[in-house]
Amino acid sequence: MRDRTLKYLLVAPAVFVVGATAVWPLAESLRLSMHAGRLSRPDFPQGFVGAEQYAWAFLEQPAFWNSVGVTAAFTFVTVALTTLLALCFALLLARGGRFRSGVQSLLILPFAMSPALIGVSFRFMFNPEFGLFDAFLGRLIPGAADINWLADPTMAFWVVVIADVWGWIPFLTLVLIGGLASIPRETQEAAEIDGAPAWKVFRDVTLPQLLPVLAVVIILKAIFSLKTFDLVFMLTNGGPGDATQTLSHYVYFNGFKYAEFGYASAVAWLMVIPMMVLTYFYARFVFDRA
Amino acid sequence: MIGGRARRRLLEAGQVVAILAFIAIMLVPILWIALAAFKRHVDVYQLKLVFTPTFENFARVFAEPYDLGTKLFNSTIVATVTVLIAIPIATAAAYAFSRFRLRGQTLLLVVILATQFVPAVVIVLPFFLMFRDLGLLDTLTGLVIVNLAIVMPFAVWMIKGFIDGIPVDTEEAALVDGSSRLQVIRNIVLPMAAPGLVTAGIFCFIIAWNEFLFALILTSREAVTLPIGLALFKAEEGDLWNLMAAAGIIIMVPMFVLALLIRRHFVQGMTMGAVR
Amino acid sequence: MASVSLRGVTKAWGAVKGVDDQSLEIADREFLVLLGPSGCGKTTTMRMIAGLEEPSAGDILIGERRVNDDLPKDRDIAMVFQNYGLYPHMTVRGNIAYPLKVRGTPTADIAPRVDAAAAQVELTALLDRKPKELSGGQRQRVALARAIVRTPKVFLMDEPLSNLDAKLRVSMRAELKNLSHRLQVTTVYVTHDQIEAMTLADRVAVMSEGRIVQLGSPERIYNDPETLFVASFIGSPAMNLVAGRIVDGVFSTTEGPLLTLPPSAPVRAHDQVVLGVRPEDIGVVAPGDGDIDATVFAVENTGDSVLTTIRLGAETLVARSDRYLKTVIDERIGLRCSPDHLYLFDGPGGKRLR
C-alpha cells in the first residue's frame, strides 16, 4: 500500500476516537446549552432558547458570579504560590549529586496521589478534633486549635488552596528542574567569572533563559486550576455554603443535583473560553520546541 | 567576613536543611494517612503516633457494605482495557504524525492537544444523556469509552515524542532493502519504541485509575471504581477515617509503584513535549 | 597581569584522580598551553584556576596570592569557553558590557570600552545583533571581546577553536596570536590540537592521565620529547614508532635486523625498545642506497608534500618528501633515516633513552 494512503489510515482510528469521545460531546454540550429543560421532565429537552441561559447566568445568578470569583481567586493564588514555591525547590534541587537526585525521585510520590485522594486526606488532617494539621498548627499559633477549618468560609478556601498547592508542587518542581537543567552551564559560569554574585547570576542569566519553561508551567497550572473538581468535591463539596464552589463544581451541582442540564451546559461552555485562550498559548510553546 | 570555603559549606548545609524540610512537608501527609490505615478508630481519634497496628481495616473495606474488592476489580479492568485500546491506536497515529506530513497535521495535533484541557464537566453531561439512552450507564464499557477520551491526547503526544526520538535511518535502510512500510513499523519501529509504549501505557493507566468525575456521574452500583469507593466512605461523616485511609492505601500503592517505574519520562508526558 | 602558580594540586572524585599532585609555574605574560587528549585533566586544571572547581589538595596562586578560597568573580580573570557561553537573551553589546556592568563600572565608561573591545575583534558592525543570529566565528569573537573588555590578570581559554571549521580555525589562530601579543596578558590555553599548541604557545605542558608529562617550548616538545606519549602526540603525520630490540648497536624487529644505529646512539643494547623517527626525517632513495629497503604500500600527495607509506611486517612507516617525488604503489624503494633524528624509548615505561 502506498504511503500516501497508509498515513491517513494510520491516523484515522485516533481521529475517530478523539472526535467521537471529545469533539462530539463538546458540540453536543453546546447544543444542550441552548435548550432549557430538566432531566426529570419526560419531554426533555424542552425547547430551543438560544443564548438565553448564558444571559441568565450573567445577569440573574449571583451564585454564578460567586463561582467565577471563587475560581478566579483560587486560580490566581494557586498559580502564584505553586510557581513560586516550585521555583524555590527547583533551585534547591537542581544542582545534582546523589542526595538531590534521590529527593527528585521521591517527588513522584505525592503526584501519584489523585486530587480526590488529596482532598480526602486534607479533610482528615484538618479535622478540628483529630486532624494532624489542626494539632500542629494549634500548637504553633495560639487560638488556632479553636478554628473549625472547614466550617469557616475563608479558612475553607485557604485549606483548599493549600491542598491544591501541596498536590501540584512536586510536578511543577520537576518541570522546572528540567528547565533549569536545559540552561547551558557555561552561560552561568561565564557570569560568575565576569564578576556576578550568585543572585545576579540568577537574575541576569538563569531567569531570562528559564522564562519559556516558566511560561509553560504557569499556563499549565492555570488550566489545571480552572478545571479543579475532584479536590473540591472531596474536601469541601463546595462548602461551607458556596464558599469554595469553583465553576466545575457549580456546573456539577446544577447539572446533577438540580438537574438543570441546559443551564449547566451553558456555564460549562463559558468555562471553555478561557481554556481555549490558554490552550492557544500553550500550543505555541509546544510547537515552537518541536 | 567568613572565608570563601567555609561560607560555601554553610550555604550548602542550609540548603540541605531546606531540602529536608521540603521533603518532610511533602511526605508527612502521605505517611500520616498510611499510618491511619493501620490504626483502630480509637487511635485515630486520639492522634496517636505509637500504636498497635492492625489489619482489620483492610479486611473490613473488602467486606460488605463497602465491597472494595469489586471496585478494585472494576478499576483494574477499566484502566487495563482503556490502555489496551488506546496505545495501539495512538501508536499508529503517532507514527504517522512523526514520519509523514499530512494535510492539516498541525490542526489535528492542536485539536488532540486541546481536548486534554477541556474540563471534564463540559463533556460529562452529553455522555450522561447518551449513555442513559444507550443503556451504558453504570457499565464498565461506558467507563472505558470516557476514559479513552481522557487518555488519548496524552498517549498520542507521548508516543509521538518517543518516535520522534528514534532515528529514521534504520527505517529508511529497511525500506531501501525492500520492506514495506507496515513491515518496517512492525519489525523495526515497534521494538525500538517498546519502552516508550510501555511508559505511555503506564501513564495512561495511572490517569484512568485515578479518574474521578466520570466515574462519579456515570456509575451508581455495578461499575463503581476505587476512587468513587472512597467517596462512599465520605457519606458516613467522621467515623471511618481509618477505613478510608485503608482504602486510600489500596488506591495509592499501585500508583506509587507505577509512577516510580516511569519517573524519568514523567515530565515529558505531562507537559506533552513542551518541556523536555 | 600576573603569574599563576599551581603547587601540589590534586583533584579527586572518590578514588578517581582527575589531576594528580601537579605543580606548575606560569610566568607573567606567558602564553601557556595545556595540551593532551580527552580526560587528561587539562580542562579540570584550568577550571581550578578559574575557581569553577575546588582542588582536593594543593594551592593555586594568582599573582603571588593564594586564591583557593576566592570565588571566580574575585579572582580578576576572564575566560573564553568552548561553546562560548554567550548570554542568548542579550545583544552582542550587552554581552560585552556585562563584565563591566556587573562590577559597577560607571555607565559613562562602559560604552567606549565596549566599542574599543569590539573594534579589536572587528565586531563593530554586529553590536546590536543577538548571538543566535551570528555564525560560529562571530560568536567566538564576541566571547573574546567579552574577555578583553576588562584587563584581567589572567586569560583562560578552554578549547575556543574546537567548534570552528578547519579553515576558520587556521585564520582565528593567527588572530589569537596577534591579539595575545598586543594585549600582553598571562594566558592559559587548553586544547587537544597539537598544531594549536605548537603555533600559539610560549611553553606547552603536555598532560596525560592527570599529570604533566613534559613542560617546555614548542621546539623542545617537538624535537626533544621525554616520553613515547609526547613523541606520538605531537607532529602530524605522527612520528613513526617501531617496537624491537637492540643488540650490538643493531636495531631489530621481529622481522629481523632493520637499522644500524649511529655511534651517537645512547645505548648499544636494550631489550624492549621503541625506535622513533619523524616522517620528515626519512628520505626516499633508490633501493640499496638507504638504511631500509621496502615496497611502497601507499602514496599520498597532499599538495605541499608527498607521503610514502611502507609496510614492515605488522609495522608501518611513513616518509615525507617534497612534492616532486614520483613513486608508485608496489615500487621497491630505499629509506634513509637521518641519524641525528632517531629517538629511542624504553618499551615498557615509554621514557626516552638518553
Bridge partner residues of C294 (DSSP): C333
- Residue C208's alpha-carbon distances to C36, C37, C42, in angstroms, are 6, 7, 9
Q: Decide: C11 and C180 in contact? Cβ < 8 Å.
A: no
Whether residue C20 is found in the same domain as residue C83 = yes
Range of the domain at C69: 4-233
Q: What is the pLDDT of residue C161?
A: 92
Q: What is the pLDDT of residue B1?
A: 44
Give the ipTM of the model, two decimals please.
Answer: 0.84
Q: Smallest Cβ distance to A234: which of B25, B156, B231?
A: B231
- Average pLDDT score over residue span C260-279: 89
Do B111 and A276 make contact, defined as CB atoms within 8 angstroms?
Answer: no
Whether residue C217 is found in the same domain as residue C244 = no
| Domain presence at residue B219 | yes
DSSP line for C59-115: EEEETTEE-TTS-GGGS-EEEE-TTTT--TTS-HHHHHHHHHHHTT--HHHHHHHHH
| Domain presence at residue B51 | no
Whether residue B219 is found in the same domain as residue B94 = yes
Residue C198 to residue C33: CA distance in whole angstroms: 9
Whether residue B28 is found in the same domain as residue B61 = no
Question: C45-84, pLDDT tens digit by residue?
Answer: 999 999 999 999 999 999 889 999 888 989 999 999 999 9
Whether residue C74 is found in the same domain as residue C142 = yes
Whether residue C44 is found in the same domain as residue C175 = yes
- The residue of A193, A205, A206, A210 whose CB has the most chain C CBs within 10 angstroms, and thus the best one to mutate to test that interface, is A193
pTM of structure: 0.85
Q: Touching check for B3 and chain C: CB below 8 Å?
A: yes
Tally the domains of chain A: 1
Whether residue B19 is found in the same domain as residue B86 = no
Residue A140 has a CB neighbour count (10 Å cut-off) of 9
Residue A74 to residue A80: CA distance in whole angstroms: 10
The last residue of one of the domains, among C209, C233, C257, is C233
Bridge partner residues of A14 (DSSP): none
Among chain C residues, the shortest Cα distance to A196 is held by C102
Phi-psi region at C21: left, alpha or beta (left = phi > 0; alpha = psi -120 to 50): left
C-alpha Rg value of chain A to the nearest Å: 23
How many CA atoms are closer than 13 Å to the CA of A170, on its beta-carbon side? 23
Residue A160 to residue A238: CA distance in whole angstroms: 10
Write out residues in chain A with pLDDT < 70, as ranges: 1, 37-47, 143-146, 289-290
The last residue of one of the domains, among C233, C264, C282, is C233
Q: What is the pLDDT of residue C211?
A: 93
Range of the domain at B102: 57-271
Whether residue B130 is found in the same domain as residue B165 = yes
Which residues in chain B have Cβ-Cβ distances shorter than 8 Å to A92? 15, 18-19, 22
Q: What is the pLDDT of residue A37?
A: 64
Question: 475560581: which residue's cell?
Answer: A71
Whether residue B136 is found in the same domain as residue B219 = yes
Beta-carbon contacts of residue B258 (< 8 Å; ≥ 6 apart)? A112, B202, B205, B206
Question: 477520551: which residue's cell?
Answer: B149
Instruction: Assign residue B248 the CATH number of its domain.
Output: 1.10.3720.10
Whether residue B236 is found in the same domain as residue B138 = yes
| Domain presence at residue A4 | no
Phi-psi region at C6: left, alpha or beta (left = phi > 0; alpha = psi -120 to 50): beta
Whether residue C104 is found in the same domain as residue C193 = yes
B226-235 vs B190-210: helix crossing angle, rounded to 10: 10
Tally the domains of chain B: 2
Whether residue C39 is found in the same domain as residue C150 = yes
| Domain presence at residue A194 | yes
Distance, CA of C86 to chain centre: 25
Q: How far is C8 from chain B (nearest CA, A)?
A: 19
Q: What is the pLDDT along chain B (276 residues), one digit of tens a residue?
A: 445 667 778 888 888 898 888 888 888 888 888 888 887 777 777 666 777 777 777 877 787 777 788 888 999 999 999 999 999 999 999 999 998 888 888 888 888 888 888 888 888 888 988 898 888 888 889 999 999 999 998 899 889 888 888 888 888 888 888 888 888 888 888 888 888 898 889 989 988 998 989 988 888 888 888 888 887 776 555 567 778 888 888 888 888 888 888 777 766 666 666 655
Q: Residue count of chain C, please give it.
A: 354
Q: Is the pLDDT of residue C245 over 70?
A: yes
Whether residue C192 is found in the same domain as residue C249 = no
Whether residue C194 is found in the same domain as residue C132 = yes
Q: Residue count of chain B, please give it.
A: 276
Range of the domain at A81: 61-289
Q: What is the pLDDT of residue C100?
A: 93
Whether residue B75 is found in the same domain as residue B17 = no
Q: Decide: A121 and B248 in contact? Cβ < 8 Å.
A: yes
Among chain B residues, the shortest Cα distance to C73 is held by B4
Instruction: Assign residue A125 the CATH number of its domain.
Output: 1.10.3720.10
Beta-carbon contacts of residue C141 (< 8 Å; ≥ 6 apart)? C121, C122, C123
Cell of B273: 513535549
| Domain presence at residue A14 | no
Q: What is the mean pLDDT of chain C?
A: 91
* Amino acid present at B232: L
Do B113 and A283 make contact, defined as CB atoms within 8 angstroms?
Answer: yes
H runs (alpha helix) in C184-256: 194-200, 218-223, 228-233
| Domain presence at residue B151 | yes
Q: What is the pLDDT of residue A144?
A: 66
Among chain B residues, the shortest Cα distance to C72 is held by B4
Residue B266 to residue B263: CA distance in whole angstroms: 5
The last residue of one of the domains, among C210, C233, C256, is C233
Q: Touching check for C54 and chain B: CB below 8 Å?
A: yes
| Domain presence at residue B47 | no
Q: How far is A190 from chain C (nearest CA, A)?
A: 6
| Domain presence at residue A106 | yes
Do C54 and B3 make contact, defined as CB atoms within 8 angstroms?
Answer: no
The interface residues of chain A toward chain B in range 140-179, judged by CB-CB distance below 8 A, are 166, 169-171, 174-175, 178-179
Q: Smallest Cβ distance to C89: which of A193, A197, A209?
A: A209
Residue B232 to residue B212: CA distance in whole angstroms: 13
Residue C238 to residue B94: CA distance in whole angstroms: 51
| Domain presence at residue B12 | yes
In what side-by-side order are the strands of the sheet with C186-191? Answer: C77-80, C154-158, C186-191, C31-35, C203-208, C211-216
Which residues in chain A have Cβ-Cβ distances shorter than 8 Å to B107? none
| Domain presence at residue B84 | yes
| Domain presence at residue C351 | no
Question: A19-40, pLDDT tens digit by residue?
Answer: 888 888 888 888 888 877 665 5
Which residues in chain B have Cβ-Cβ distances shorter than 8 Å to C48? none
Among chain B residues, the shortest Cα distance to C71 is held by B4
Whether residue C184 is found in the same domain as residue C252 = no
Tally the domains of chain C: 2
Among chain A residues, the shortest Cα distance to C80 is held by A190
| Domain presence at residue A172 | yes
Whether residue C18 is found in the same domain as residue C58 = yes
Whether residue C199 is found in the same domain as residue C308 = no
| Domain presence at residue A178 | yes
Instruction: Assign residue C294 the CATH number of its domain.
Output: 2.40.50.140
Q: Smallest Cβ distance to A14: which of B90, B231, B273?
A: B90
Whether residue C226 is found in the same domain as residue C318 = no
